[in-house]
Chains A and B, each alone.
Chain A
Amino acid sequence: MKVEPRLHFHMPLQRTPFHARTSAANVLNQWGNWSGYTTALVFEDEAMEYSAIRNAASLYDLCPMVKYRFTGPDAAACLDRLTLRAASRLSVGGVHYTAWCDDAGKFLDDGTLFRLGPEDFRLCCQERHLPWLIDSALGFDVRVREETEEVAALSLQGPCSAVVLQAAGFDVSALKPFRMMSLPFGDGTLLISRTGFTGDLGYELWTTPDQALRLWDHLTVAGRPWGIRPVGSSALNLARIEAGFVITNMDFIAAHQAVREDRTRSPIEMALDWMIDWDKGHFNGRRALLAEREGKTSRWAFVGLDVPGNVPATGAVIYAGKTKEAGFVTAAEWLPTAKRNVALAHIERKYLKSDLWADIYALRELQYARLMLPVTVTERPFFNPARKRATPPGRF
């Protein structure tokens, strides 16, 4: 919802096009600030919301996600140079997870890139980067603009999400993961991509703000037999940790925002170097990353940890041999579906083979109990169901 720009101070946080519905559903009235928008943290019950993501169908308001549009003959070439992966090899109708770095090969952000046409891309991410993107467009025949406010987006996730879409009249049975399709909807069109942030079967739906409430109502009605419910950011965070996904400025600091010199991370240090396309030609940070790879100079490793017990190791410092500081935890949860207590952590590479301990402060009735627990490095994702990949999707 737009306000008179001159009166912005009356409403410091923007409202998304779904606000009329999300505010009605938010019986706990728990809100958080996401990129300048007020968004629900929990609607009614975090456990039920998480359960809807993993066992039924869930609706999540994605509007605050920052969206940029790249259009023009050099759009693919510009994105090839900007990001780690080869945008030019992404087919029209395809989506890939990608990331981008500064000159020093340090992460600026990660996000998803949608190829809407041969010369038309949408880049979705957590942080705002317009100046960097415009600077990166110099020398390319491409137009870069932010379109966050022009798009209303909903994430429909969960094992029943395909069936709900079927019931809503959208046949997505042939849609493969990381592909998208366009359908007429209401007075406009609806773009459905098989993407999401839960590591599960799920879809993201993209339309214009004027169709937002109609879409919400349509899905809510169609999904009722499958227990569809709106979910807040807290439940989603649990699901994304289970899926092993990282969030900029929660799991690493964007290099442009880092104040302390040692806070920046390279894709190699974030275990996302699998994304790097070394053969596509030059891209931002390539020379620095090549030197890091060749010289084996990466200082950090980003890993999943198994933690004993059921106390989340939130914010814990990791020690090597209980004495030397070896790293720290950026996200930790007891995972209801995987039934595991895990953490995402930065560990200094030289300590990776040491015996690692998490120094956990467990709050028990106003008093912290200090737990020094042995942790082990483990594979991510912690949860990786076959239904995520099956095409046609299962009918749950």
Chain B
Amino acid sequence: MLTALLSRLGQMVLVMFGISVVAFLIFFATPGADPSARIAGRNASQETLVQVRHDFGLDRPLPVQYALMMERLFISRDLTSFVNRGQKVVPTVLEAIPITLSLVLGAAVLWVLGGLIVGVVAGATRGTWLDRTLMILSLIGVSIPVFWLGEVANLVTQSRWHDSWLFSWVPPLGYIPFTEDPWGWFKALVIPWFTLATLYIGLYGRVLRASIIETMQEDFIRTARAKGIGERRVLMHHGLRTSLVAFVTMFGLDFGALVGGGALLTEVVFGLQGVGKLTYGALQTLDLPMILATVIYASFFVVMANFIVDVAFVFIDPRVRDAH
């Protein structure tokens, strides 16, 4: 078990190294990305450019530049942005992380609960009006673009009906740290949570329903029914329990991607200065240090999520346990 864990950790490091190298190289292959021109400002002379290149180490071979950048990113942690001079990259990312984590964690709780309820209820009542209604609602949820839904939510809660009793509690857009004001944190995030979770509730509900319906056709469900344990227990303890594999796989991947910056649109719409927005800004200004920092951070979460899913499988599916 320990060796499996260690080898898995080794793989993680390797994957993250590969991703950072690719991100680094893509940057230098991008036309118009020469950072010295940006740093030196407009209409800078050739001499200034050379000077800047030398100061920032941009005239050295690429492997050396890569190594230097990694050294400043991970060891001395004083890597600064190419665009906003003096802005340290690592603290900026660290500041953005709690915002994104708050957003995605809250939404994840909602969509796991919502997906489970929708999937189980629809699967158990297959073919009835309740099932059909839930599936139509899910389809709508999956189809609505998150930025549109977010803007509509803002329109309603921040503008049109903000002064009514219904939404007067909604704070202005932005993030309130949990440590400062937990209740304010909750109020500021509850609408973004629902907005982000809508798509996933629909998606997970539909996937789980299909998975449960398939499982309920299995022979072992018939065995369970023949035991006289009641349909609810058959559904939950045998049907749902066996259907969770697809659900957990999806959750791991989606959660990792969202924490890694995939919640960008939600962050932008609700004015949350999270990792997604940071990455987006860095890409627009071709700010290499910031891009590297956010990409490595994102890859860490995606790889980590995969790892956690694999570990979760060991608990969910005993067949996986013995495969190692």
A and B interact: no
The chain B residues found within 8 Å of chain A, CB to CB, are: none
